Amino acid sequence: MTAAPQDSERPQNTRAIMSFLREHSPFSNMDDAQLAHLAEHASLRFYADNDVVLSPEDGPVKRFYIVKQGRIRGERARGKDGETETTFEISQGECFPLAALIGERPTRTLHRASGDTFCLSIEHDTFVTLFSQSDPFRDFCLRGVSSLLDQVNQRIQSGAMASIGSSNSLDTPLERYAIRNPIVCSPDLPVRKAVARMHENSVGSIVITDDERHPTGIFTLRDLRTMVAEEKGPLETPIGQVMTKDPCCLTAQADAFEAAMLMAEHHFAHICVVDDDHRLIGMVSERDLFSLQRVDLVNLARTIGTASHLRTLVSLRSDVSRLVDSMLAHGADSGQVVKIITTLNDVTVRRVLELNLKKNDPGIPFTWLTFGSEGRQEQTLLTDQDNGILFQVPDGMTEDQVREKLLPFAETVNKELAECGFTWCKGNIMASNPKLCLSSREWDDWFIRFIDASTPQNLVYSSIFLDMRSIFGPTEPLDALLDKVLARIRKNALFQKMLAGNAITRKPPLTMFRNFRYVQEGKKNKLDLKRQGLAPFVEAVRVFALANGVGEANTIERMNKLAEKGVFDPKDSKAWQEAYSLIQAIRMRSHQEQLERDEPLSNYIDPDDLNPLDRRILRESFRQAQRLQQKLEVTYQL
C-alpha cells in the first residue's frame, strides 16, 4: 500500500483546505488521508447575500456543504400566508444538510446565504466514501452534536486525568470489581470465629447469609471496635445479634458511581453485589472503587459526617475542589459531579446541625429544607444558602412559641454554614427568617396563597420554592406537603400559564443570527452560564414537570420522566439533556480554572476564551434551549 503523501507534497490549495478543516470538528478528528480526500474533491462556491443555496424544490440533495466564510440561514414556511421563519443559522466550520443526504431525499428547509458566503462543497459520491471510511465523520453524521459533546467530555476528563494519573471509570459495572468470592457465615457463628475467618482471608468484612445465600447482615472491623469499646457483649456472642442488618445491595450491572454515592450518603465502606434473585455474588469496598485516587469520595464524606468541630468542617471544604477533578478523571459526567457536590454539601449541613443539636438542642423535632439548585441536587462549587424549617407543633405549644425556640438555633446554623463556604443568601431565603420557619399548616397555607395569587414576586419565588427537598429530620411532613402542592398546581391551569410566561422571559443568549448576546450588568463580552444558559432549561422543564405530576426536582430526572410520560419526544429529551449537561460541564470547568488562578468563583465566561468546538456546541446548546421554550410557548399559547 502506498504511503499517504505528507502535507508538503500536496497542492497548496489542498493544504489550505486541510488546514481550515483541522480547526473544526468533526474534521479535526479525521485522519490525514481522509481529510486529503475531502479537500481534493472539494470545490469553493460563492453565494451573495440572500442567494438560495438549497431548496426543497431542488429534489434529492446531491452535494454536501461546509461553511468556510459567512453564514447560512435556514427558512421554513409558516402558516398558509406564505410567510417564512428562520429556523437556524450556521457559520464557519459547520456543515449541511446531513439528514437529507443520509436519507437521500430533498431538504425540508430552504438554505439561504446571510451576507456574502463561501462554502466548500463535495459531490454525493465523495460524501458516501467519507461516510463509509471515516468513523469520526460517520459518527457525526448519524449523531450530530451529540458526538461533539462526547469530545468535550473526553477532553474535560483527560485534563482532569492528567492531574491525578488514574484510569478507573465511574461508569465501570460492579461485576468488574466484585471478582473475589465474599467471606460469609451463618448468623449463629460466634463473633470470635467470624473475626478469625476475616483475619485468615485478610478482609475487613464478613457477610451473614441465610440458607439461600441471601445477605441478611454484615459485620466489619469497625463494628468489632464498637462492640469492644461499648462492651456490647462477649466475643462468643452469635454474630447475628451484633451484625448490621439489611446490608446495602446492588446488582452486578449497577455502576461504580451508584455505589460511591450510596457509600458517601450513608457512611459505610462495603456494598454487597447480588444477582437478580438477590443471592450474594461478591463484595465491593471503597478501596476497590477509589484505590487510585488522591481524594476519596466516601472517605471525605465520612470525615465530614463525623467531624467533631466546626473548624474541621471549614478546612475540609477545600478538598471538594480536588475531588471534582478526581471525579471528572474517573469518568463522571457533569450530572454526576453536581450530585457528588450536592451530597457532600448535604453531609456538611447535617453535621453542622448535629453539632449544634449536641450543644443547644431546642427540643423541637423539625425538618431542615433546602431549595433551588440544592433542592434539585444541581450544586456546583459556587453556592449560597437557600434553606428553611418545617416543624410539627407539640401539644400545649403555639406555632409562635415553637418558632421562638427554633429561630436562634437556625441563626447559629446559618452563620456556621457561611463559615463553611455556603454564602449568606442575599434574598434572606434562610431558615433564620421567621417567614421560612413554619409549621406544616403554615407552609400549606403559604403555598395556597402562593398558587392562587400569581404575583410577580410569587413567580420569582417559584424558581426557589418549587424545587424543594428535606436533608435532615423526618421526611413524611414534606412528602405530604408536596403531594398537596403538586395536586393544586395540576388543577390550576392559570398558574401553570403564568409560570410558563415567566419561564420564557429568561431567554438563551443568542441573537437572531446566532451571535452571543452578552449580559448587560457591566460585564463586557460576558455570558452568565447559570442565568442565561442553565435557567432557561430549568424553568421550562419545571413547568412541564409540575403540570404533569412529576415529583422529582432534578432537571435531568424531570426530563426523563416527561419522556416516559410522552410529554417530551425521547429524541428531544435526549438533545435537551445533552445541551444542559454541556453548559453545566463548561461552567464547572470554568470554576476549576478560577480556583487554580485563586480567583473568586463566578458564573461569567468570555466565549472568546473558549476553543472553536466549545463555542460551537455552546451555541447549539443555547439553540436547544430556544427549542424547549418554543414548545412551552406552543403548549400554553403564549
Decide: 614 and 152 in contact? Cβ < 8 Å. yes
Query: Which residues, 6 or more positions from 497, have their beta carbon under 8 angstroms from its beta carbon?
Result: 636, 638
Give the residue among 517, 537, 507, 533 at the shortest CA–CA distance from 590.
Answer: 533
- Cβ(56)–Cβ(107) below 8 Å: yes
What residues are paired with 72 via a beta bridge? 90, 113
Stretch 586-597: mean pLDDT, rounded? 84
Q: Residue 215: which pLDDT band, with cuts at 50, 70 and 90?
A: very high
pLDDT digits (tens, 9 = 90+) for 343-385: 889 999 999 999 999 999 999 999 999 998 889 988 887 778 8
pLDDT tens sequence across 467-493: 999 999 999 999 999 999 999 999 999
Cα–Cα distance for residue pair 222/229, rounded to 1 Å: 11
Confidence bin at 164 (pLDDT 50/70/90): very low
- Per-residue confidence (pLDDT) for residue 460, from 0 to 100: 75
Examine the pLDDT at 270 and tell me if it is beyond 60: yes
In this structure, what C-alpha cell is assigned to residue 502? 415567566
Q: pLDDT-based confidence at 514, cuts 50/70/90?
A: low
Question: Sorting pLDDT into bands at 50, 70 and 90, what band is 152?
Answer: low
User: Residue 170 has what DSSP assignment?
Assistant: T
Report H helices in 517-637: 535-547, 555-564, 570-596, 612-635
Report yes or no: 532 and 509 within 8 Å, Cβ to Cβ: yes
What pLDDT score does 10 carry?
Answer: 46
* Sole residue written with cell 458526538: 147
Closest CA to 575 of 248, 88, 143, 76: 143
- Stretch 75-98: mean pLDDT, rounded? 78
- 83 burial (CB, 10 Å; 0-12 / 13-18 / 19+) is exposed
Percent of the chain clearing pLDDT 70 (strictly above): 88
Instruction: Average the pLDDT over 282-290 and give the result.
Output: 75
**Which grid cell is 570?**
425521547
User: Is 399 or 86 the better-scoring residue by pLDDT?
Assistant: 399
Query: What is each CA distance from 120 to 40, 53, 128, 218, in whole angstroms?
Result: 11, 12, 16, 66
Residues in a beta bridge with 527: 605
| Residue 121, pLDDT above cutoff 90 | yes
Q: What pLDDT does residue 2 have?
A: 40
Distance of alpha carbon 398 from alpha carbon 392, whole angstroms:
10
In this prediction, residue 8 carries a pLDDT of 44
| pLDDT at res. 436 | 94
- Tell me how crowded residue 529 is: count the other CB atoms within 10 A of its CB: 23
The residues, ordered by sequence, that sit 6+ positions from 248 with a Cβ below 8 Å of its Cβ are 262, 266, 268, 271, 272
Q: Using CA atoms, how far apart are residues 604 and 591, in angstroms rounded to an integer?
A: 10
pLDDT at 449: 86
Q: Which own/partner pairs from 202-209 qualify as long-range (CB within 8 Å, at least 24 positions apart)? A: 203/283, 204/269, 204/270, 204/285, 205/269, 205/270, 205/283, 205/285, 206/239, 207/182, 207/183, 207/247, 207/272, 207/280, 207/283, 208/184, 208/239, 208/240, 208/243, 209/184, 209/185, 209/280
What integer pLDDT is reported at residue 332 of this predicted model? 66
Axis-axis angle for helices 318-329, 145-164 (nearest 10): 120
The CA-atom distances, in angstroms, between 424 and each of 28, 369, 418, 467 are 46, 16, 6, 19
How far apart CA 540 and CA 499 sit, in angstroms, is: 9
Q: C-alpha angle 449/454/459, rounded to 5°?
A: 105
Q: Classify 385 in phi/psi space as left (phi over 0), alpha (psi -120 to 50) or beta.
A: beta
User: What is the three-class DSSP state of 404?
Assistant: helix
Are 489 and 550 in contact by the 8 Å Cβ rule? The answer is: no
Helix, strand, or coil (residue 435): helix
Mean local confidence (pLDDT), 457-463: 75
Q: Which residues contact 175 (CB under 8 A, 6 or more apart)?
A: 252, 253, 273, 282
CA distance 18 to 12: 10
Q: Identify the three-state secondary structure at position 338.
A: helix
Alpha helices in 390-452 (DSSP H): 399-419, 440-452
Give the pLDDT confidence score for residue 161 in this predicted structure.
Answer: 44
Q: Is the pLDDT of residue 250 over 70?
A: yes
The arithmetic mean of pLDDT across residues 511-530, rounded, is 72
Looking at residue 7, its pLDDT comes to: 43
What local confidence, expressed as pLDDT, does residue 1 receive? 37
- Secondary structure of 597-631 in HEC code, one letter for each residue: CCCCCCCEECHHHCCHHHHHHHHHHHHHHHHHHHH
> What is d(CA 468, CA 369) in angstroms, rounded to the nearest whole number?
7
Domains, the chain, in order of start with CATH, read 12-153 (2.60.120.10), 174-293 (3.10.580.10), 296-450+459-478 (3.30.460.10), 492-637 (1.20.120.330)
pLDDT at residue 576, as a whole number: 92
Give residue 487's pLDDT.
92
Report the DSSP beta bridge partners of residue 220. 205
Give per-residue pLDDT as tens, 2-45: 444 444 444 568 889 999 998 888 898 898 899 999 999 999 99
* Residue 96 near residue 111 (C-beta atoms within 8 A): yes
Report the 10 Å Cβ neighbour count for 60. Answer: 12
Instruction: Name the more confident of 83 and 506.
Output: 506
pLDDT tens digits for range 604-635: 988 888 877 778 778 888 888 988 999 999 99
Q: Looking at per-residue confidence, does 542 or 174 come out higher? A: 542
Residue 209: what pLDDT?
94
- Partner residues linked to 412 by β-bridges: none
Please tell me the number of Cα atoms within 13 Å of 453 on its side-chain side: 9
Return the pLDDT at 180: 61
Most confident of 135-144, 329-338, 452-461, 626-635: 626-635
Which amino acid makes up residue 19?
A: S
Whether 211 and 322 have beta carbons less than 8 Å apart is answered as: no
Q: Can you give the pLDDT at residue 3? A: 44
What average pLDDT is seen over the chain? 84
Separation CA 407–CA 409 (nearest Å)? 5
